[in-house]
Amino acid sequence: MLRGEPAVVDSTSPRLGEKTTYYSGICLETGEVEVMDVTENCTAETSATFLQQMRKNHTSPLIVIWDNGPAHRGDAIRTYLKTPDLHLRLVAFARLQP
Between CA 78 and CA 73 the distance in angstroms is 8
> How many other C-beta atoms are found inside a 10 Å radius of the C-beta of residue 90?
15
How many Cα atoms sit within 13 Å of 55 on the Cβ side?
16
- Predicted confidence at residue 24, as pLDDT, reads 93
- Predicted confidence at residue 83, as pLDDT, reads 95
Give the pLDDT confidence of 45-98 residue by residue, as tens digits. 999 999 999 999 988 899 999 988 899 999 999 999 999 999 999 998 877 666
CB distance 36 to 23 below 8 Å: yes
pLDDT at 6 over 90: no
pTM reported for the whole predicted model: 0.76
The topology under which CATH files domain 16-92 is: Nucleotidyltransferase; domain 5 (3.30.420)
Using pLDDT thresholds of 50, 70 and 90, give the confidence band for residue 11.
Answer: low
Domain ranges of the chain: 16-92
Give the pLDDT confidence of 19-43 residue by residue, as tens digits. 778 999 998 888 899 999 998 889 9
| CB burial readout 20-55, b (16+ within 10 A) else e | eeebebeeeeeeeeeebebeeebbbbbbbbbbeebb
71 burial via Cβ count (<10 Å: 0-12, 13-18, 19+): buried
